[in-house]
Amino acid sequence: MEHRELAVAGAYAFFPEVFPDARGDFASPYQERAFVAAVGRPLFPVAQASRSVSRRGVVRGVHYTLVPPGTAKYVYCAGGRALDMVVDLRAGSPTFARWEAIELAAGDGTAVYLPPGVGHAFAALEDDTVVCYLLSEEYRKEHELAVSVFDEEIGLRLPPGLPVLLSERDRQAPTLAEVAALGQLPRYDG
């Protein structure tokens, strides 16, 4: 499995080998040895596994959690295709407000690791896109926060012509400056 660090400090993309045959294909989106080689430690203890199914144009995020406790995520696409966006929301981080997008597709098993305090969003590029998450903490509504995917300070670029569909929560999400003014930015711990 190959890996590379993303433009956000501490976030990585993983690219497993895919084994096709007459039946279809097989891939392992998470492999501990490769994760340890990249991150320097094993994956967090998994407290929750989740998945979402989205139609083309659904945009989820930019979501993050209060730190502490913070939630690390390991994300891959099990069906369809998604443009996954990783955004550094950690005050004091050397990559604060930087982001990187990477396409996740069911056919290649590519996965993304996001440390606590890093924001996450994705845009479904096909109907029935299935995104799977391994989470270091169980979901707690009171810890979940969001920043607007349209915040010009961050400057995320959604695919042109994509018919964007957001939840009410994501439509009303504050900007990065508003979140900072509220004291809701996670701190970078190095």
Annotated catalytic sites, by residue? 63, 133
How far is residue 134's CA from residue 5's CA, in Å, rounded to a whole number? 19
How far is residue 124's CA from residue 54's CA, in Å, rounded to a whole number? 6
Backbone angles phi, psi at 14, to 5 degrees: -125, 135
Paired strand residues for 54: 129
Cα torsion for 91, 94, 97, 98, to the nearest 10°? Answer: -160
Handedness of CA 94, 115, 108, 28 (dihedral sign): positive
Number of residues assigned to the chain: 190
Residue 13, helix vs strand vs coil:
strand
Residue 119, helix vs strand vs coil:
strand
